Structure 1
Amino acid sequence: MTQVKDIEFKDDDFTFAHETNEKIIDKTYNTSSYAKDVWSHFIKNKGAVIGAVIIILIVIMAIVGPHLTGHTYKSIIIEHASLTPRIPFLENFGLFDGTFHGKNIYVEKGFQDIYYWFGADTQGRDIFTRVWEGTRISLIIAVTAVLIDIFVGMVYGLISGYFGGKIDMVMQRIAEILNGIPTLVIVTLLGLVLPRGIASIIFALMITGWIGMSRIARAQVLKLKEQEFILASKTLGAKNFAIIFKDILPNIFGQIIIMSMFSIPNAIFTEAFLSFVGLGVPAPMASLGSLISEGYKSMTIYPHMMMSAIIVLALLMLSLNLFADGLRDAFDPKMKQM
């Protein structure tokens, strides 16, 4: 056992606070809102910031890119067929100067003042214009389909999780039946039946795309509906749908945003797959998938016809996933461990 020595305290060892001349002030800390916390966490993630910058640049180019060269996505100039990339200024350094197998096609054909930044396809159409036009169409299709999926899946999951019981059982069995059929099979069959076009692709993508969103919404409702603030709302006489959309929905909005950002790359990939197999937008319209499909036919001879679309699609998919991952960590850092 340890021995404790006797300690003697003197009169001046302790001093009353009111007897000193020092002002005792409590330390105050600046409070920050939830939005500021999310932003501070997000900007610390360098991958997410880089992804966001790339997304912004791609969106800007999808808006202004088709108007930069003076060509339209469907303008055909047979004399310019299969021209390789030629970019001003860079050609002075031997890069993208129109050389193909050691020969400058532009000089041989007398096209000294003509530039195709991404080259021309087999029909003489400007690939640069078609790539950014295709990026615009792919983004419109994917974002529209995801927004519809968010609305349908959110409402479906909120109602199913809140009411529970037989309603939840029936609604979940319906979702499981739809989810049991592979998405690509449903989308492909609908692509064969429906007329080709943007509206048909959006409809095909939203058939099963809402199921993942409904599951996220239902899981969050099951976690929140027994909380004290929900009980307080019921006690005060709030109706069920008021509780669902005014009390529960604002508390799960972060998870919905995260899920939607992860859904956009999936929608873009599915649309690209449909266009690649010939079920996408009709010619002469273009999407990234159809451009890759067209370039694939001449890949061994003119690889530039598909490389630009592949690079844009890869950058878009990668940046969207990095951005979504950063949002997930910013809204809820614990989700990274799940």
Structure 2
Amino acid sequence: MTETRAAEWEQLPLEAKTTAPPPPAPGFGQEARRRLFENKPAVISIVFIVLLVLAAIFGPMLSPFSYFQQNLKLANIPPAFDTYEVTASDGERTRFFLNGSNFNLYQLDDDGHVLGLLRGGRKDILKKQQPYTFGDAEILLDYSQLPARLIALDGAEIRPSGWSWNMTYLFGTDQLGRDVLVRQLYGARISLTVAFVATLVNFFIGVFYGGISGYLGGRVDAVMMRIVEIISTIPLTLYVVLLMVVFDNGLISIIVAIGSVFWVDMARIVRGQILSLKSQDYVAAARTMAASPARILTRHLLPNAIGPIIVTLTMLIPSAIFIESFMSFIGLGVTPPLASWGTLTSEAVETLRAYPHQLFFPAAAISLTMFAFNFLGDGLRDALDPRMR
């Protein structure tokens, strides 16, 4: 009997030993991060937003031009153009391009940099022609029929030798000869600043307003929600316009105007989350331990509602950018010569037919930024949803 028991307690061989216990399951944060990085549109949006912020901060510093610097001689230059070459008898070669919208010739170097405006001879008003002399070579700019064309003295039309990017002004220039690229980057700085500051103000007002309303409940909740409903009945755009008229135009005014009314959606979402969480057992345990309402709200309820708060915050940023751009478009945003995407769009509409590139860049920036934040919000919503675990 003793031998049998001893055999039961003999040490097992190495190959018969049990395997090591499995590693602990990943936490909620690790799972959320993994799901977010598996969402390709969200990852691309994060990269785009980071690059946009870096370009808005450092881009204007690296540019040789300022957002207000004007050069009327180089107005309305496109970002790409057909190039022409004229060679004199002494072998001197002149490279230039024709701006068919304002009938000007601009000299280029071999790399595509704009050197300046070429001056021609006296215009023939009746024939709508202007001569240009390059050494002993002479050509005529004929704009009697559109599009304008270049013709030699023998009547042969001069054809483009190729095309080139504008290496001096990568996005071209506007009607005042200002660099569109640096104004675009400065506009990104203004638009993103308005969006982030206004959203941050909305975050604090909406979170604590909705949290207090949902936690206290009763008459306090009823009164606070009636205030929210009164604000919601007024169209947001109309309310912002009225505030902008009172505060006058300017960057600070539009931040105050958007931040003062943009928090109602956040307050409603936080209130709904607090109403569903305050009946949980851990809240009752905190009350039993004599925790104050402020501690329960800030240390227990709001941290557990952080997922919907972050998603809503991400969704509010593109809305703030759109509202700021719209206010600037109708003349109630930042004042010239400051540039935002809305003012750039408003200025480009005036020259849309002749210079569509001036409208393309700010419109593309607004659209891509709104898409990026919406995709990021969708990715965060899926990543922070506990039902996805």
TM-score by structure 2 length?
0.75
The residue that corresponds to 1:6 in the other structure is none
- Work out which of the residue numbers 181, 184, 192 in structure 2 matches 1:139: 192
Q: Deviations over 1:81-119 (max 9, x none)?
A: 1111159xxx9xxxxx96644989432885399711111
CA contact (8 A) 1:157 1:216 kept: yes
Quick one: distance in 1 between partners of 2:185 and 2:376?
21
1:161-215 deviation line (CA, Å, top 9, x unaligned): 0010000000000100000110001011112221211111011112221011111
Aligned alpha-carbon RMSD (Å): 2.6
Q: 5 Å matches for 1:1-338?
A: 21=13, 22-25=16-19, 27-86=21-80, 100-101=99-100, 105-107=105-107, 110-111=115-116, 115-332=168-385, 334=387
Q: Which runs of 5+ in 2 are unaligned?
A: 1-7, 84-95, 109-113, 118-165
Q: 1:98 to 1:179 in 2, by over 3 A?
A: farther
CA contact (8 A) 1:86 1:115 kept: no
1:275-332 deviation line (CA, Å, top 9, x unaligned): 0001010000010011000000000011111111111111111111111111111111
**In 1, Cα distance between equivalents of 2:307 and 2:187:** 30
Q: Which SS does the other structure have where 1:107 is aligned?
A: strand
Q: Quick one: distance in 2 between partners of 1:26 and 1:258?
A: 40
- Contact kept, 8 Å, 1:86 with 1:116, in 2: the verdict is no
Which stretches of structure 1, 4 residues or more, deviate above 6 A after TM superposition?
16-20
232 and 67 in structure 1: CA distance in 2 versus 1, 3 angstrom threshold: same
Q: 1:18 to 1:104 in 2, by over 3 A?
A: farther
SS at match of 1:111: strand
Per-residue deviation, 1:27: 3.3
Tell whether the 8 Å contact from 1:83 to 1:98 is kept in structure 2 after alignment: no
> RCO (CA 8 Å, sep 6+): is it higher in 1 or 2?
1
For residues 9-42 of structure 1, the C-alpha deviation after alignment (integer angstroms, 9 at most, x for no partner) is xxxxxxx897965223463223323221111000
Is the contact made by 1:131 and 1:309 (CA closer than 8 Å) also made in structure 2?
yes
Check conservation: 1:85, 1:119, Cα contact below 8 A.
yes
Greater percentage in helix: 1
Matched length: 314
Asked if the contact 1:83–1:105 (Cα under 8 Å) also holds between the matched residues in 2, the reply is: no
- Structure 1's unaligned 5+ residue stretches are 1-15, 92-96
Identity across matched positions, percent: 38
Q: Name whichever of 65-74 and 21-30 sits farther off.
A: 21-30
Report the AA paired with residue 85 of structure 1.
P
Specify which structure has the higher proportion of strand: 2
